[in-house]
Amino acid sequence: MKSLLFSNPAGFWALLGIPAVLLIHFLQRESRRVRASTLFLLEQLAPESAQGRRFERLRNSATLWLQLLAVALFAWLLAGPRWLRPDSAQRVVFVLDSSASVSAFADEARKAVAEKSAALATAAARTEWTLVESLPARKTLFSGTDRAAMLAALDHWHPDGPAHDPEPALRATLGLVRGRGAVVFVTDHGGPVPAGAVVLAVGSPIENVGFTGLQTDGDTWRVLVRNSGQLAVRRTWKINGREQGTLELAPGGMCELRGIFPPGTDRLTLELDADRFALDDSLPMVRPQPKRIGIIRDPGTSFDAFFEKFTGTVADRLPDRRDIVLARYDPFLPKLPEGNAVVVVEQPLEPGKLLAGSIVAENHPLVAGLNWQQLLVNESFSIAPRDSDDRLVSQGDRPLLLLRHNAKGRALLVNFDLRHSNAAQIPAFLLTLHRFVESVRAGLPDIEVLNAETGQSLADGSRAPDAPGFFDLPAVRGAAHFADGREADFSNASSADGVTGTVAALQLQNSEQDFFSPLWTLLLLATCAASWAAVRERKATKFMQNSAPLSCIFHTLI
């Protein structure tokens, strides 16, 4: 069965014409018939004072009912009645902003989705609902035709991610809709979106004070507190639930808190008075215990000075443990150490000319994003590459950096002589060495205890939790704190509704015009004509009735 809908519900405001018509008919007064035998008596019948119109009893008349019918027909046509096609179908995708700032308006967002989804459901006979988050790494929250189940799935939405660009998620969902539905971006601020998507923003500027940074050094800690609002505030702060003092912050102001870990205490939680944005109101922290790594240098090489300088830049080293070996490669005694190592080719003879050709770096974690174009290398002996080696950096046909796997670890092969190259002055080379050391450190069996920001990538390939708190992973344990100052600033939060216009467009797309609209138009014209004729006839009748006595008077005088 077809459902009736209206493309312009505001047209029903025209029904206000009904009380206007009734008011006009209430104010009409019945004319009085006065007979006079002589003209001089007409002066005496003139009203002594004009009191205006008075409310009278509503008189039943054809004119009244015709005018009421005309108003009703006019309002009906203005409202634009249409019939929803029973075979119409659409897909509606709500893309939920995963940014942490939206958590301050999560309740408003859920309420707005409930209201707007109810309106969108009227635009087609069948609607398929989809709930996704704007961070691509997060899974789909709901997909199906049950709107109640879709609204229930909103409880599993926890916006706590970093600031990010939602455009990739919006473009992907636009491909699902393909012009037969709507893509709605639910956020806390307005902004441009790809063509075909609309914004449903539920934010507003609010005051916020929170922790915004943590630094630890042994037993001591330092924390920054920031007022991101527009008003001066006073906040009480606590450690593990015990009040420590009061902070007074000007608009946009910051202050620093300092302290130490008490003996026997390895974790603390700092707290501020709660406000609407809760993610930065608490800051958990642990006493850091980094993984320590042992680096051994082969003595008596041509690279002793470089090896010693490099090991001095590696933090948290153990003096005697052999986790990484720094060694040379002698072309006349070709032997590579087992286990994790950094091996540099030693050129025993005079080097050749500079290598020619373009330098190409592979997409490997050790060298990704680094600039190698300033590297200069002279021709020298080299280590023959194997098919199983990972070629990291090459110049022409010659590999400059290789990663070789062995039974006990991995070896980073520097396939040129550092003495005849400017590699020691190139940041990309030094960063690659440090990345290799940290990758070895991450693979050590020791447990690392650290403080991390929420969602931060950790050295072992895992990620810190998205919400503040303590965590315990197989290779890392510690505390995650929120420190994204951009998400804690609500000065640009705003509201916007792009769904209402979309509902009207979808209703037109999925419905057909009322078949009887021409008939209603003709009936309206006929009603107006009949009402006009009735009024005209009534005026003519009154004129004849009122002119008859005057005719008699004129005949008498003659």
Q: Could you give the CA distance from residue 327 to residue 512 in angstroms, rounded to a whole number? A: 81
DSSP symbols for 380-430: ---PPP-TTSEEEEEETTEEEEEEEEETTEEEEEE-S-GGGBSGGG-HHHH
What pLDDT score was predicted for residue 225?
A: 95
What pLDDT score was predicted for residue 41?
A: 52
Q: Could you give the CA distance from residue 474 to residue 457 in angstroms, rounded to a whole number? A: 15
Nearest to 274 by CA among 210, 225, 213: 210
Write the single-letter amino acid at 27: L
What pLDDT score was predicted for residue 396?
A: 87
| Residue numbers of the chain with a pLDDT score lower than 70 | 1-2, 5, 7, 28-60, 460, 514-516, 538-558
Q: Could you give the CA distance from residue 137 to residue 141 in angstroms, rounded to a whole number? A: 12
- Going along the chain from its start, the domains and CATH numbers come out as 8-84+515-557 (no CATH), 89-205+492-509 (3.40.50.410), 209-290+454-481 (2.60.40), 293-442 (3.40.50.880)
Q: Could you give the CA distance from residue 156 to residue 158 in angstroms, rounded to a whole number? A: 6
What pLDDT score was predicted for residue 29?
A: 56
Collapsed DSSP state (helix, strand, coil) of residue 432:
helix
Collapsed DSSP state (helix, strand, coil) of residue 266:
coil
Burial of 180 (0-12, 13-18, 19+ CB in 10 A): middle
DSSP symbols for 152-186: HHGGG----B-----HHHHHHHHHHHTTSEEEEEE
How is residue 524 written in tokens? Answer: 């309206």
What kind and span of H or E run contains 551?
helix 517-557
